[in-house]
Structure 1
Amino acid sequence: MNKKIKILSAVLVFWIALFIAWEWWQSFPKVRNVPISEVTSESIGIDSILQQSMATYLLPGISVAIVKNEEVVYLNSFGYKNLATKEALTVESAIVVASISKLFTALGLAKALSDKGISANNPVSSLELKGKVKASSLSKLRFRDLLTHQSGVRDKNFSEMIFSPSKSQVLKEWGEEFLQNSSTYHTDSMSYNYADSNYDLLGFLLCLYEDHDFHSLIEHHVLVSSGMTSSKFVTAWPIEENGITGYQKTFIWKRIEPKRISFPVLPSPSSGLITTTKDMSIAITHLLRGPKGAFGKSLGWLTIDGSKVPLGFQKTQIEGREWVGHYGGQAGYASLLFYSEEAETGIFLFTNSRDKEDFRIEIARQIISFINP
């Protein structure tokens, strides 16, 4: 009996040692930056905040765009898009913004439906789609319900995901499967339940209604008119072998390891926008212009019942003011885009690191406090 215990103990110790060695081998040390010793301008001050944040939160790369009084006053990046190749992250690097994608799906839907005289208070049945859409309980949902996650629609749970295909589904196939099983993924509850499926379903329905692929629709209704020429909803991932890599902290060591993203649906209206920090500065400029910007008509459609927050947008408090926009976080990536009409300021922040400490909003607060004392 004692011999068996010794053997089991030895095996256990061996596997623990192997796990520790694997953790160390797979991880990267801290990304070190030369600190800025003297702040002589607003731009250098922001540089200093970002470089200090990289050291504090072990960030491989970070990029920021700031718009003030409808002008881009800051646009810069630090660190790497890939630690293995040491390729620098730039403001023109293709980046993953995850749920910020929902804003552009909402803007695209708003533009398409406003052109047809359909309001956010109208039900899905107003699209006059036939077949399974018409027969489904989903047809009674209002567009505002889906945009605000108050539709009763849910994502697949953990056990359902285990038995799902490992490869990404094409949006059309995903939508058809969702309609086939709508009684499973939809209830009559109208309480708030954040679910990516709300936006993937909106994207699917828009494609059926306009009889066109999703990326082309968003490109036509949102991206081209705003000048966001380096943005797209991808249909394949990764877009290149040496594309941007996400990271997360290792389990044991205070180091970081790769954490790659996978999209269950492609293109993904809920999280599949690939863009650049430079393009995000353009988007913020239009959002701050309100009715005068390229998104003016869409924002008007999304702003109902006297609300100051457009449908699909989140709100947060920063330095005593209300800001609207959205957070993005998935796998090894974290981002945020928020703007304040009162402060006439907008900020976009991206880093290829998983955010478990709310460092996105903390860094944003430091920057906003610095530029709007």
Structure 2
Amino acid sequence: MKLSLKLVLLIFAFLSLIFIGIEWWQSHPKVNLPVPLGTFGFDDRMDSILITTLNQNQLAGLSVGLIIDSEIVYTGAAGFSNLETKDSLTSVTQIPTASVSKLFTALLVSSYFLENDIQPEDNISSHFPSIVKEFPQLEDITIASLLTHQSGLSDKGYLGSWLGIKKPLRLENHIKNILSKRVNQETDSIASYSDLNFELLAFLLEQNSQSSFEKLMNPFLQVELGMTQTYFKTPDQSDSLTTQGYQKTFLWKRLKNNPFVYEVLPDPASGMISSTHDLLKALIQLSRGDLGYLQPHLEWLEQENSGLAGFQQVKLGNQTYWGHFGGQDGFSSLLLFDLELGNGLVILSNTADKTDFRKQLAEKLEPFLYQKP
């Protein structure tokens, strides 16, 4: 018995050593950059906060942008987009934005439905009878309930991409595959966050327009909003993104690869690739109020009791902002803006956020939104 226990302990110790060795071998040293001295000017202080955040939270790369009164007052970046090649991460580096994508899917939905006289409070059955006939559980779900995650739909049960055993499905196939397994669905007035809500919205767009989501979305981003570096990856598109995602290792103070994994392509809920430079362009339009190109879209999204449908409310200090957090695999993002004052910020990183660094960084940056240089 004692011999068996010793053998088990020896095997466990041996396997642990192998795990520790592999984790070290397959990881990279943490990034530690010198904090600039003489932090007296606005940009100097921003640079100092940026680099200190990167060092303290063991990030591979970090990019930040600020607008005040709908004008860009700061863009900065530090670290690397790829630790293997040592390519620098900059404000124009393309990074998966994860759930920040939902903001732009909501804006596209508002743009298209506004043109086609479809209102947020309309039931799916009012405009998409053939879809409801195929999936009766959608009959009483409204467009607004999808945007506000109150449809009763959930992401429960999707383990394919998490386990890495599925190739991403085309959006239409993905939706039909899920809905065919969900016979009973009750609308829930309590919000339950689910990517499926936005995937279904994009599917409805495709069905109504007889066009693919990416053919609607990418021109909206690149032409109408001027976000020329921004796109939603498609099934037919080769993976040309050189930015690598990372996460902290289990034991060592090192970073290991954590690439972005798609379950569906295009992915309306999480699949937008953008840069700080491009997101600031959108932020300017979002924050300009009546003067902004996106004002009609925001008015369509405005809900009496819940504010902007599709947007999250984030409180920093005494101020409440609209925007969205994004975090998936080895990437983290945050976009926030103040509709009344025209202030806002963008945070992008190619490292998983396990320490809530985005919120902490936003809280440090927020006072500077009221100190125009």
Residue of structure 1 in register with 2:326 after alignment: 328
Residue deviations 1:306-360 (CA, integer Å, cap 9, x gap): 76x3101111111211111000011111110000134421101011111121110
SS at structure 2 position matched to 1:140: coil
Residue of structure 1 in register with 2:351 after alignment: 353
Residue of structure 2 in register with 1:124 after alignment: 124
Residue of structure 1 in register with 2:16 after alignment: 16
Q: Is the 8 A contact 1:136 1:182 kept in 2?
A: no
Q: Is the 8 A contact 2:311 2:322 kept in 1?
A: yes
In 2 relative to 1, CA 43–133 (structure 1 residues): closer, same or farther, beyond 3 Å? farther
Query: 1-side partners of 2:38 and 2:162: how far apart?
Result: 53
Query: 2-side partners of 1:198 and 1:302: how far apart?
Result: 15
Residue deviations 1:61-97 (CA, integer Å, cap 9, x gap): 0011111111111122111111011011121111110
Q: Which amino acid aligns with 2:83?
A: L
What are the residue-to-residue correspondences of 1:16-35 with 2, within 5 Å? 16-35=16-35
In 2 relative to 1, CA 86–133 (structure 1 residues): closer, same or farther, beyond 3 Å? farther
Residue of structure 2 in register with 1:202 after alignment: 201
Query: 2-side partners of 1:162 and 1:368: how far apart?
Result: 35
Q: Is the 8 A contact 2:160 2:263 kept in 1?
A: no
Residue of structure 1 in register with 2:297 after alignment: 298
In 2 relative to 1, CA 252–311 (structure 1 residues): closer, same or farther, beyond 3 Å? same
Residue of structure 1 in register with 2:365 after alignment: 367
Residue of structure 1 in register with 2:107 after alignment: 107
Once the two structures are overlaid, the 10-residue window that deviates more, 321-330 or 126-135, is: 126-135
Query: 2-side partners of 1:336 and 1:219: how far apart?
Result: 21
Query: Given the two structures, how large is their TM-score scaled by the length of structure 2?
Result: 0.93
In 2 relative to 1, CA 238–18 (structure 1 residues): closer, same or farther, beyond 3 Å? farther
Query: 1-side partners of 2:215 and 2:279: how far apart?
Result: 19
Query: 2-side partners of 1:290 and 1:162: how far apart?
Result: 40
Once the two structures are overlaid, the 10-residue window that deviates more, 35-44 or 199-208, is: 35-44
Q: Is the 8 A contact 2:161 2:263 kept in 1?
A: no
Q: CA deviation at 1:158?
A: 6.0
Q: Is the 8 A contact 1:147 1:199 kept in 2?
A: yes
Query: 1-side partners of 2:344 and 2:9: how far apart?
Result: 57
Query: 1-side partners of 2:163 and 2:77: how far apart?
Result: 40
Residue of structure 2 in register with 1:340 after alignment: 338
Query: 2-side partners of 1:228 and 1:36: how far apart?
Result: 31
In 2 relative to 1, CA 349–134 (structure 1 residues): closer, same or farther, beyond 3 Å? same
Q: Is the 8 A contact 1:111 1:221 kept in 2?
A: no
The answer to whether 1:226 aligns with 2:225 is yes
The count of aligned residue pairs is: 371
Residue of structure 2 in register with 1:81 after alignment: 81
In 2 relative to 1, CA 165–23 (structure 1 residues): closer, same or farther, beyond 3 Å? closer
Query: 2-side partners of 1:238 and 1:16: how far apart?
Result: 40
SS at structure 1 position matched to 2:193: coil
In 2 relative to 1, CA 205–44 (structure 1 residues): closer, same or farther, beyond 3 Å? same
Q: Which runs of 5+ in 2 are unaligned?
A: none
In 2 relative to 1, CA 135–155 (structure 1 residues): closer, same or farther, beyond 3 Å? closer
Query: 2-side partners of 1:323 and 1:131: how far apart?
Result: 36
SS at structure 1 position matched to 2:75: strand
Q: CA deviation at 1:246?
A: 1.0
Query: 2-side partners of 1:19 and 1:86: how far apart?
Result: 26
Query: 1-side partners of 2:54 and 2:240: how far apart?
Result: 25
Q: CA deviation at 1:295?
A: 1.2
In 2 relative to 1, CA 135–10 (structure 1 residues): closer, same or farther, beyond 3 Å? closer
Q: CA deviation at 1:178?
A: 2.6
Residue deviations 1:147-202 (CA, integer Å, cap 9, x gap): 00010001133667789951111101112213322316x33433211000000011
What are the residue-to-residue correspondences of 1:302-321 with 2, within 5 Å? 302-305=301-304, 309-321=307-319
In 2 relative to 1, CA 357–41 (structure 1 residues): closer, same or farther, beyond 3 Å? same
Percent sequence identity is 33
In 2 relative to 1, CA 101–133 (structure 1 residues): closer, same or farther, beyond 3 Å? farther
In 2 relative to 1, CA 44–160 (structure 1 residues): closer, same or farther, beyond 3 Å? closer
Query: 2-side partners of 1:242 and 1:217: how far apart?
Result: 22
Q: Which amino acid aligns with 2:118?
A: I
Residue of structure 2 in register with 1:217 after alignment: 216
Residue deviations 1:116-156 (CA, integer Å, cap 9, x gap): 11110111122234155565221321111000001000113
Q: CA deviation at 1:3?
A: 3.6
What is the Cα-based RMSD across aligned positions, in Å? 2.2
Query: 2-side partners of 1:207 and 1:254: how far apart?
Result: 46
Query: 1-side partners of 2:113 and 2:242: how far apart?
Result: 35
Q: Which amino acid aligns with 1:30?
A: K
Query: 1-side partners of 2:299 and 2:93: how far apart?
Result: 32
